[in-house]
Structure formats: structure tokens, C-alpha cells
Copies of this chain bind each other. A is one copy, B any other.
Amino acid sequence: MEESEGKEKGPSVAAAPPPQACSRWNPTKEQISLLEGLYRQGVRTPTAEQIQHIAGKLQEFGRIEGKNVFYWFQNHKARQRQKQKQENFGHLSRLLRTRAGPPPLRPAPPHPTLHHPPPAGGTLLCYHPPLPAVVFAGAMAPEGAEETRYRNLERYDRRRLLETAAADEECMCDAESRQTLQLFPLHPAGASKEEPVDSPPSTESDDGGSCCRSPSPLDFFGSQYGLTSER
């Protein structure tokens, strides 16, 4: 079992230093509660500042990052919508049933884990109005700017979210091995602080060509794309 870099937590031999450390965020009761509260208040896609703020608050109840908050809202929103959709379907179905007997309608598969099988036609029903929740007292109407300009601004702000939200960065489980190995010399034109984290494996998901992920992250601009042997 030799693997590529020593990055693997592999064999059970003298390994499993931090067996799992912090694989993924595991929200506490309070955190969930708070988040749901916000959601009910109408928060759906918090801005960067909001996320930071929320994360900060929630940190009192356990480790949490802006990223987690971001994802939570995204997932919750999506799942809430999906749930509602199913519900609606159920109603519809029932209504139709009383009107035209039990047709071979899709019984709204209770299987939350249906994989590949494409929907194959079964998506309709309303989408939006999942919750009317409204609160947020205080000022409103952002005033100023034409609609276009305005939306633009929103977009802009949204972007921030992603950036900042993710900014907290790192797993930090070990809270110590911060210096992480510098697998290769980052030397962009204008010097960039940042940290080298640990494993540089590119990816593979989509095409990946064949398999290996970029073993040598540098030489990007080295061999240059002039001699692309491919097609």
C-alpha cells in the first residue's frame, strides 16, 4: 500500500494520529435552534457580514465557521423547499384522487435518497412561497439607484458572502500544524500571503482526463500549452 504523498491516514499501523479530528461540522442543539430561528425570521441567503456575525455568535456553542453557516442556509433552504414541494404534491395527489380515482401517480417516493435515476418527468407544482416569515424591524428600502444598479449591488454583495464566508478557512483540528508543508513555492507576481495548507492534489471529479490529479502543480506555465500533444 504505498500511496502517493504521505498524506494518507492510511494503514491502521501507527497511524490514525488524529483519527478524524474534525471531519465535518456537527451543529449543537443551540446552534441549530438559533439558525432555525433566523431562518424563520426570513433569513435565507445572508450576506457576508451577516454570516460572519452569525458564526461569531454561534461560536459560543461550539466550533463553527462562516462556511458552515453559509452551507447550512443553503441546504436548509433547499430542503425546506423540497419538502414543501413534496407536501404540495401529496395534497395535489389527494385532491386529484378524490376527483378521479387512484391513478398510477407517483406516490411521492418517501425515499430521500434516490440517486442517479433521473426525475423522468415529475417536477412541477409551485416553488416559491414556502414561508411568509417576516420580521427584521427597522429601516428598509435601501433607497437610491435604479433597479438595475441596485440588483447589481446585491450581486456584488453576494459575492462578498462567498468570499468572506469561506475566509475563516482551514480545519485547524490540530491547531498547531499551521505551518503545513509548502509543497511548492508560491511565487505569484505580487507576493501573496496566504498559507500553503497541506495537500495540493488537484481534483478528479469531472473529467480528470484519466485519473491522476496534477502531481506537479507547478510547471503549469512551465511546459506551456504550446506543445499540447492532445488533439
Give me the interface of A with B, judged by CB distance under 8 Å: 1-4, 7-16, 23, 34, 36-38, 40-50, 52-57, 59-60, 67, 77, 81, 118, 120-121, 123-124, 127-147, 149-154, 156-160, 162-171, 183-184, 186-190, 192, 194, 196-197, 199-221, 223-226, 228-231
Contacts and interface: CB of A to CB of B under 8 A. Distances in A.
Given A207-B44, A215-B138, A188 B56 contact: yes
Contact of A36 (B144, B156, B203, B225): B225
Nearest to A5: B139
Q: A interface, by DSSP: helix, strand, loop or mixed?
A: loop
Contact of A142 (B9, B147, B152): B9
A153 B16 CA distance: 9
**What is the copy number of this chain in the assembly?**
2
A16 to B, nearest CB: 5
